[in-house]
Amino acid sequence: MAAPGAGPRSLGARLLGPQRRNLWFWLFVGPFAIGLGLFTYVPLAWSVYLSFFDAHNTVSPAGSDFVGLGNYGAMLGDAAFLGSLGTFVLFTAFIVPATYVLSLALALMVNRLRFARAFFRSVFFLPTACSYVVAAVIWKLSIFNGVRFGLANTVLGWFGADQTAWLSTTDPPWYWLVIVTVRLWLQAGFYMILFLAGLQRISPQLYEAAAVDGARPGWQVLRHITLPQLRATSVAVVLLLVINAFQAFDEFYNLLSDARGYPPYARPPLVYLYYTALGRDQNLGLGSAGAVILALIIAVATVVQARWFGLGRKEE
Amino acid sequence: MHDALTRAGRALRLALLIVLALLFLIPFYLLVRNGLATERDITAPGWTLFPHTLQWSNLTEVFRDPNLPLGRTLLNSTLIAVSTTLGTVLLASLAGYGLARIPYRRANVVFYAILGTLMVPAAVTFVPSFVLVSSLGWISTLRGLVIPTLFSAFACFVFRQYFLGFPKELEDAARVDGLGYWRTYWRIVVPNARPVFAAVGTIVFIGAWNAFLWPLVIGQDQESWTVQVALSTFTTAQNLNLHELFVAAGVSIVPLVVVFLLLQRYIVAGVERSGIDD
């Protein structure tokens, strides 16, 4: 496959590289890299550009008024947008620790089983096959519906509790229970698998040494051996959980919206942007500004988290 | 004494696992129960574990209801999920192999440019991507639903990590036999890397089948609805038949549960080996 003929220093030969390696590299990587650039980098740049225009109903700034930072000012002064960020923070503060604890607990229990391990692992992983839409159908129309045929109200009724309109009660905010349990059910199994993989890699000798040193099995071993050994897995799980929480859309949209529209409470950023950019107004300039603000927040949060957890630092 | 404690602890743990497993299975049970019940059994006051009558005809009725184009949406979802999976696996495996195995001076720059997009959540790109796709005139087309989703940095990353750990001797033998990069890839690497192809393929398939936001935004006329978009629309419809909705939801998870049960081994192994927690 060596390049014959061509002079060793000719431009063509240099572009192709020794044994035409550069050519082959780009034949393999090129289609993917070009597509990724076209469908990730180009839209981002376009969005930044569009965010300076008053673009309604159109995706091209031509013919729209240049408003400079006006869209950014409008977004940052918009109580609804700031409220959507607040919703996200609240949602993340609930769902990240809850999923972390549940999936780690499942992994620890499943890992120590002597039999039926594959069965339990499958049961907890199976919800991964369900979409948020399907889960929302079950949660909204069978478990947590306000009327008397809902499972939650039936069970509570056995204990003499009153019926609750789960999804429309804002004080106390019972709808959070519905939103959080859907996500827990759908994602805990996936993170359990990551923790199981991490547990497999811990050397049994560490546990033997701990037993010799007199560490009591249970809490002490968990705290001094298992958790430190799972550090890398934990960092990855927390990062993935936060990124996924930022993208929360499906369950909010499917659980809370109905034929009359979306209630003003509990809109995370993505739901808010969806209604701003693609709702009746089609205000794409404003929506783009919101997306850029969100991107900056996420970039800062990612860097801070990476520093905090020492991501990329060499393992000691 | 100590022994008894351990045994009690083990029994307690098993009991807790069984309770949790039942909680995890309840939603599946409700899906089947309501899908096979009569409308009256679903909405009757006072919930019962079993419906009074099992109505198997629900299963065929749902495909005949003209208000509910289930067959069409299932076909759309299948076309989209299959083409997304094949396209993603092909593009990402080629790129991952190139990055891992073809020496190129700037390979690291390219790799970090790809990896960087993992940090950009879809929440941020969905408005701009919609802008791009609509200016291409791809709204409500299969192209618009599939092509922008084909370039998964995650899949590329998993393939690269896998190929980095792939035994080099196999490929060296192929090179000695005079095979170029292309033929080495197709004849030696692909057949020996089947587990990672199955794992990535399954994860991509599940993601594509369950995707909601992108099909909702791009599939604007009913002809291009996926089954998820259709289900979501029916939940807010006024003239809703609950039993039909539950059958439709149940039918929509069948392909995944089948794929899942057949390939679970590979998914688990693939996730474990993907290196995302290293």
pLDDT at B238: 61
Closest of A262, A167, A258 to residue B238, by C-alpha: A258
CATH of the domain at B122: 1.10.3720.10
Interface of B with A in 1-20 (CB under 8 A): 6, 9, 13-14, 16-17, 20
Q: State the nearest Cα–Cα gap between B98 and chain A, in angstroms.
A: 5
Are B277 and A135 an interchain contact pair (Cβ–Cβ within 8 Å)?
Answer: no
Mean pLDDT of A18-43: 90
pLDDT at B277: 45
Grade residue A35 by pLDDT with cuts at 50, 70 and 90. very high
- Amino acid of residue B228: Q
- Amino acid of residue B125: T
* Total number of residues shown for chain B: 278
Mean pLDDT of B216-230: 91
Are A46 and B131 an interchain contact pair (Cβ–Cβ within 8 Å)?
Answer: yes
Residue A240, classed as helix, strand or coil, is helix
> Which of these ranges, A78-82, B58-62, B117-121, B222-226, has the smallest mean pLDDT?
B117-121
Does any domain span residue B51? no
Q: Note whether B99 and B111 are within 8 A (CB).
A: yes
Q: Is residue B275 over pLDDT 60? A: no
Alpha helices in A174-259 (DSSP H): 175-200, 204-212, 219-221, 227-229, 231-246, 250-256
Does any domain span residue B245? yes
Helices A79-111/A231-246 angle, 10° precision:
140
Q: Where are the beta strands (DSSP E) in chain B?
A: none
Residues 6+ apart with CB under 8 A from A4: none
Are B114 and A46 an interchain contact pair (Cβ–Cβ within 8 Å)?
Answer: no
Partners of residue B150 in chain A, C-beta under 8 Å: 35
CB pairs under 8 A between A and B: 273
Closest residue on chain A to B130 (Cα): A43
Grade residue A3 by pLDDT with cuts at 50, 70 and 90. very low
Q: Please tell me what DSSP assigns to residue A315.
A: P
- Amino acid of residue A207: Y
Beta-bridge mates of residue A170 = A173
Distance CA B254, CA B260 (A): 10
Distance CA B227, CA B233 (A): 10
- Amino acid of residue A283: N
Q: Does A253 contact B at CB distance below 8 Å? A: yes
Does any domain span residue B39? no
Interface of A with B in 255-274 (CB under 8 A): 257-259, 269-270, 273-274
pLDDT at A168: 81
Closest residue on chain B to A50 (Cα): B128
Residues 6+ apart with CB under 8 A from A130: A186, B27, B210, B253, B256
Of B34, B110, B212, the CB nearest to A131: B212
Q: Note whether B117 and A36 are within 8 A (CB).
A: yes
pLDDT at B145: 94
H/E segment holding residue B31: helix B2-35
Domain region containing B123: 67-273
Closest of A49, A85, A84, A92 to residue A67, by C-alpha: A49
Grade residue B2 by pLDDT with cuts at 50, 70 and 90. low
Are B268 and A233 an interchain contact pair (Cβ–Cβ within 8 Å)?
Answer: no
Q: Does A197 contact B at CB distance below 8 Å? A: yes
Dihedral (Cα; A22, A27, A29, A31), 10-degree rounding: 140
Does any domain span residue B136? yes
Q: Please tell me what DSSP assigns to residue B82.
A: H
Q: Does B47 contact A at CB distance below 8 Å? A: yes
Mean pLDDT of B225-243: 83
Q: Note whether B123 and A269 are within 8 A (CB).
A: yes
Closest residue on chain B to A119 (Cα): B21
Q: Does B120 contact A at CB distance below 8 Å? A: yes
Does any domain span residue B143? yes
Of A32, A43, A185, the CB nearest to B128: A43
Provide the ipTM. 0.88
Q: Is residue B174 over pLDDT 50? A: yes
| Number of domains chain B is built from | 1
Q: Does A237 contact B at CB distance below 8 Å? A: yes
Mean pLDDT of A69-85: 91
Does any domain span residue B37? no
- Mean pLDDT: which of A16-25, A174-183, A193-202, B192-201 is highest? A174-183
Closest of A76, A70, A77, A43 to residue A54, by C-alpha: A70
Grade residue B253 by pLDDT with cuts at 50, 70 and 90. very high
Grade residue A28 by pLDDT with cuts at 50, 70 and 90. very high
For residue range B72-120, what is the model confidence (pLDDT) as tens digits? 999 999 999 999 999 999 999 999 999 999 888 888 899 989 988 877 7
Return mean pLDDT, chain B. Answer: 86
Q: Does A109 contact B at CB distance below 8 Å? A: yes
pLDDT at A1: 45
**What's the whole-model pTM score?**
0.87
A172 prior amide bond cis, ω within 30: yes
Does any domain span residue B1? no
Mean pLDDT of B199-221: 91
Tokens standing for B141? Answer: 């087309």
pLDDT at B218: 92
- Mean pLDDT: which of A60-69, A127-136, A166-175 is highest? A127-136
